[in-house]
Structures are given as structure tokens and as C-alpha cells.
Amino acid sequence: MSRWQVVVAIRLKAEILDPAGQAVGHVLQQMGFDTIAQVRLGRLVDLEVEAEDREQAVAVAAEAARRLLANPVLEVFAVTEAREVGGHR
Amino acid sequence: MSRWQVVVAIRLKAEILDPAGQAVGHVLQQMGFDTIAQVRLGRLVDLEVEAEDREQAVAVAAEAARRLLANPVLEVFAVTEAREVGGHR
């Protein structure tokens, strides 16, 4: 087993309105960021996983996202990174 | 100018406690995810930026993160992705 740092990115589905993101977008406009056209807010979950290999680490993280971390009605998730951080033991 | 989809990842500094992440970690343990050792929660911001090139799109997103999106006392941010999504005009 080795230790993996896995990143899960969770975003609202494209068809779901994001009023908090819109509010941030309005503030950016008021601050002079007139080249920023759209803002959407999502979530990141950093997991430290003990696994045999990258494939297993990604599978565990995806299962955790599917069963708990993400809301399947509103959100989509992706495992965006899996980096080995600890040696085998 | 072209249109860029830029992703900003915002995380708590390593030395900042994350009780919400710990709570999620405990629930995962109770659900049987005994290989997940640590959970930390962060934020994602997806920005659509008009810019001359990738470098400018990343710079605008980083400036927005520095001035508004991230809390510099508690958080660190990184621009993790910049993808061209619209043609030149």
C-alpha cells in the first residue's frame, strides 16, 4: 500500500443556476474586472487515500464522491489528480 | 481577444484546521471508507475571461483571486487550468 493525495472537483451541473457565482461576478465587474464574463463556484475535496496503485486510489475517491461528497441531483464530480505522496509499506 | 475558461483552486493553508473536512472524514470512516485518512475541503472558481492570450487570462484570474476570491489570511490559491473556449474576434 502507498499513500495518495487525490483531488475531487465538484461543480454545479451546467443547467443549474449559480446565484452565488453571479453575485461574485457582479462584484468583480464593480471592481473593474470587465473582462470576466462569468463566474461559477464549485468545491474541491482533497483526500489522502491508502491504495495499492493510482487506479485504486482514484476508484476509492470516485466512490466516496458518488456516495457522499457530491449531490447527484445538482452536481457533477471529477477526480482531477492523484499523486503518490508516501512510500510503499 | 479570445475567450478562456480559467479554473482557480482555493484551499485552506496547511496550518489551518478544517473541522468541516474532519466531519466528512468521520462520516466516510463510518461508511466503511477505512483507507481514506484525511479530508480537506476547498473551493473552485470557474471564470470565463476575455484575454489576448493564455498568459493574460491567467494573470486576470490570479488578480481576481488575490483581490476578492481568496481570503489571504486563511487560504492559498492557484490557477490550475486555462483553456481557450472561444475564437478570436
Looking at CA atoms only, how far is residue A61 from chain B in angstroms?
Answer: 8
Looking at CA atoms only, how far is residue A60 from chain B in angstroms?
Answer: 8
Question: The dihedral of CA B75, B80, B81, B82: what is its sign?
Answer: positive
Query: pLDDT for A27-66, tens place per residue?
Result: 999 999 999 999 999 999 999 999 999 999 999 999 999 9
What's the rounded mean pLDDT across residues B26-44? 98
Under a CB-based contact definition with an 8 Å cutoff, are residues B51 and B4 in contact? yes
Of B11, B48, B67, Cβ closest to residue A46: B11
What's the rounded mean pLDDT across residues B15-44? 98
pLDDT confidence of residue B86 = 83
Domain B2-86 has CATH 3.30.1280.10: yes
pLDDT confidence of residue B88 = 61
What rounded mean pLDDT belongs to chain A?
Answer: 96
